[in-house]
Chains A and B, each alone.
Chain A
Amino acid sequence: MAVIVHTRYSEAIHPLHAVLLSGAFTLFLSALMSDIAYAKTFHIQWSNFASWLIVGGLLFASLALVFALVDLCRAQRRVPGIAAYFVLLLATWLVGFFNALMHARDAWAMMPGGLILSIVGTLLAALTTWLGFRTPHFVRSVR
């Protein structure tokens, strides 16, 4: 007897989207670690590293945002949870942006604001990445 099975199949995040998302997290985390090193040693080079790492994280997050926006805007890709993911990613980007401005302050003037924003940004990026990987990105039926 023939049985027809309708399977709901969720495809994982696009590979490039995945790289951008996890890359942004890694860069923000690295910036946080550099901030900690600067706070502990007062060695200015760590704050320079942090500044560029944040710009890198912002670049990756910006490109990931484009992916998320496409997923959000195209009806057949819109799945439950995608809006939450998008909002969280946008929040991560905004914190990263203000953190970049904070890091543009000279010498110790970036502290403690820069360190706090790096912690918040890294936590948000981790949460976003987890949510991004967990949310099915589009759903289709396979016969």
Chain B
Amino acid sequence: MKPLNLFTTFTVSVLLVACAEEPGELQVGANPTLPAPSRGLLPTMKIPQPVGWEDRMPTVPDGYTITAIATDLKIPRQTLILPNGDILVAEGRGGNAPALKPKDVIAAYIKGKGTTSVESGNRITLLRDADGDGEYEFRSVFAADLNAPYGLAFIDNRIYVANQDALVWFDYEEGQTEASGAPQTLTELPSEINHHWTKAMTASADGRHLYVGIGSNSNITERGMTAEADRAVVWQVDVETGAHRTYASGLRNPTALAIQPGSGQLWAVVNERDEIGPDLVPDYLTRVQDGAFYGWPYAFWGPNADDRVRPQKPEKVVATIAPDYALGSHVAALGVDFSNEAMGQAFADGVFVGMHGSWNRAHPVGYKVVFVPFTNGAPAGPPIDVVTGFLDAENNTTRGRPVGVTVDPRGALIVADDLSNAIWRIVPDAAG
């Protein structure tokens, strides 16, 4: 009888998934192994339960010290270091994607168990360490009533904020702790549905442009192709006029952008698609090439077609270029920044990457900050763990989830944690 067959198929597929997910080597580097796409009847979901830090702390390498410089924030995501050393923190939660299928209702409930219950801050908080002792004793709300701010950039006495629906700016004078007025809008940003709502942003080296990362409106076009106009792209926005052009496309969810010192090259971390297996598709770190197409939704990691997209576009599959460096599937990279020599010799050349952590995998991955070493301006070698201890050894509970990472030029790594609602600061010990 048919139902019996189906039930057997279901059981077998669950077993297969269980076997396939033995913890193995993560796919990292330029040429990750890509298994065949697979999915059981149910998507694999593993959401570690949030718990408090109590007297514990995240783990950092020998010769480094970590402190929480701010707590009780309202969902901190990305940070910006101002010229005088003050730190701005964008806080909030966005997205207004309606549940289209019964699955959306259930999945949103399960995923929600792994995130904070704090209300969206919709504000920018300023942190100041006036005496330079590493304690940020002063704190003020720089701007409030924003709409899920995420990307932050500073150019010539202006602070630019990428809300989930618009790119806005504030005038800024050094030392200011509060915005002097309401923000001015430079340009609207695509915000319909906002399945992936975060608008990552960075300023070009010459200060003439802002790059804005705009994530897709679905995992893999399940909200229809019309919802994907102006999505999964990086915009280049003219700072003077607010005019934009699409700088690169096919980047499913470019969650953080950074400019490489020296070359001025734009780099991004991008979250790839879910629900085709524990080891597909690797999230990646890549230089963003002008005019390049990175595959979403038609293909992934070069010309590997995704069969879930209809109508298919073979010409787009062929046009897909492979990114530079795999960070591992489902790690959810949400932060990237270039390091400098003030961070100590081990981390002098390369990028830090904040990994929020997986849901679509039986063995959780991510939940840490790593360092990708560079040589001659390109990634060289496997990632090195920098901040860990967010996830317990049994993978059942999590104390924090890293998002944005920012390198303070004076030698500190600032990490936003949107689960414990804290800002962590990692510094090399004085002797080191």
Interface residues of A (CB under 8 A from B): 42-45, 47-48, 51-52, 55, 91, 94-95, 98, 100-109, 117, 120, 124
18 contacts between A and B (CB under 8 A): A42-B311, A45-B224, A52-B101, A52-B102, A94-B7, A100-B102, A103-B101, A104-B102, A105-B39, A105-B275, A106-B221, A106-B222, A107-B218, A107-B222, A107-B308, A109-B220, A109-B308, A124-B2
Taking each of A45, A100, A108, A117, which has the highest tally of chain B beta carbons within 10 Å of its own beta carbon?
A108
Q: Which of A100, A101, A104, A108 contacts B309 (CB 8 A)?
A: A108
User: Once the chains are docked, how many angstroms separate the CA of A128 from the CA of B41?
Assistant: 25
Residues of chain B within 8 A (CB-CB) of A98 are 3, 6-7, 10, 41
* Number of B residues with CB within 8 Å of any CB on chain A: 27
Smallest Cβ-Cβ distance to A100: which chain B residue:
B102
What would 14 more interface pairs be, CB under 8 Å, given A43-B224, A107-B309?
A45-B224, A47-B222, A51-B101, A52-B101, A91-B1, A94-B7, A100-B102, A101-B42, A102-B41, A107-B308, A108-B309, A117-B6, A120-B2, A124-B2
**Residues of chain A contacted by B224 (CB below 8 angstroms):** 43-45
In the complex, which residues of chain A have a beta carbon less than 8 angstroms from the beta carbon of B220? 106-107, 109
- State whether the Cβ of B310 lies closer than 8 Å to any Cβ in chain A: yes
Contact indicator A107/B6 (Cβ below 8 Å): no
Are A48 and B2 closer than 8 Å at their CB atoms? no
Choose among B41, B221, B275 the residue with the greatest number of A CB atoms under 10 Å from its CB: B41
B16 shortest CB reach to chain A, Å: 16
| Interface: B103 (CB within 8 A) | yes
Give the distance to chain B from A58, nearest Cβ to Cβ, in Å. Answer: 10
User: If A42-B310, A48-B100, A91-B2 touch, does A106 touch B219 (CB 8 Å cutoff)?
Assistant: yes
Q: Which residue numbers of B lie inside 8 Å of A, CB to CB?
A: 1-3, 6-7, 10, 39, 41-43, 100-103, 218-224, 275, 307-311
**Residue of B at shortest CB range from A92?**
B3
Give the chain B neighbours of A117 by CB distance below 8 A: 6
Docked-complex contact B41 and A44, CB < 8 angstroms: no
Chain A interface, >50% SS class: helix
- CB distance B222 to A44 under 8 Å? yes
CA distance A102 to B310 in the complex (A): 17
Contacts of B308 in A (CB 8 A): 105-109
Considering residues B2, B43, B100, B311, which has the most beta carbons from chain A within 10 angstroms of its beta carbon? B2
Q: In the complex, which residues of chain B have a beta carbon less than 8 angstroms from the beta carbon of A52?
A: 101-102
Best-buried of B220, B221, B222, B311 by chain A (most CB within 10 Å): B222
Query: What is the chain B residue whose CB lies nearest that of A48?
Result: B100
Q: Could you tell me if B309 and A51 are in contact, using CB atoms closer than 8 angstroms?
A: no
- Chain A residue nearest to B9 in the complex (CB): A98
Question: Which chain A residue has the least Cβ–Cβ distance from B41?
Answer: A101
Q: Which residue of A lies closest to B226 (CB)?
A: A44
Interchain CA distance A47-B3 in the complex, whole Å: 22
Q: Which 6 A-B pairs have the closest CB atoms?
A: A104-B103, A94-B3, A44-B224, A106-B222, A42-B310, A109-B308
Interchain CB contact under 8 A, B39 and A109: yes
Bound-state Cα–Cα, A91 to B4, Å: 9
A42, A43, A95: most-surrounded residue (chain B CB, <10 A): A42
The answer, among A43, A45, A95, A100, for a CB contact under 8 Å with B6, is: A95
Partner of A95, one of B3, B102, B219, B310: B3
Residue of A nearest to B274 (CB): A106
State how many angstroms separate the Cβ of B107 from the closest Cβ of chain A.
Answer: 8
- Residues of B near A94 (CB, < 8 A) are 3, 6-7
In the docked arrangement, what's the CA distance between A47 and B218, Å? 15
By a CB distance below 8 angstroms, the chain B residues around A102 are 41
Residues of A within 8 A of B101 (CB): 47-48, 51-52, 103-104
CB-defined contacts of B41 to chain A, threshold 8 Å: 98, 101-102
**B221 pairs with A44, CB closer than 8 A:** yes
**Residue ID in chain A nearest B10 by CB atoms:** A98
B231 CB to nearest chain A CB (Å):
15
- Which chain A residues lie closer than 8 Å to B275 at the CB level? 105-106, 109
Which residues of A sit under 8 angstroms from B311, Cβ to Cβ? 42
Q: Chain A's nearest CB lies how many Å from the CB of B221?
A: 5
For the complex formed, measure the closest distance between the CB of B187 and the CB atoms of chain A, giving whole angstroms: 29
Given the complex, which residues of B lie within 8 Å of A107, measured CB to CB? 218, 220-222, 308-310
* Complex interface: chain A residues within 8 A of B10 (CB): 98
Q: A52 to B308, alpha carbons, bound, how many Å?
A: 20
Residues of chain B with a CB closer than 8 A to A44's CB: 221-224
Contacts of A106 in B (CB 8 A): 218-222, 275, 308
B306 to chain A, nearest CB (A): 9
Bound-state CA distance A94–B307 (Å) is 27
Which B-chain residue is minimally distant from A93 (CB atoms)? B3
> Please, which residue of chain B has its CB at the minimum distance from the CB of A101?
B41
Give Cα A91 to B3, complex, Å. 6
Chain A min CB distance to B219 (Å): 5
A47 to chain B, nearest CB (A): 8
Q: Chain A residue with minimal CB distance to B42?
A: A101
Closest to B223 in A: A44
Cα A102 to Cα B6 in complex, Å, equals: 11
Q: Which residues of B contact A124 (CB under 8 A)?
A: 2
Q: What is the CB-to-nearest-CB distance from B50 to chain A, in angstroms, rounded to a whole number?
A: 25
Closest A residue to B307 by beta carbon equals A108
Q: Which residue of B lies closest to A50 (CB)?
A: B101
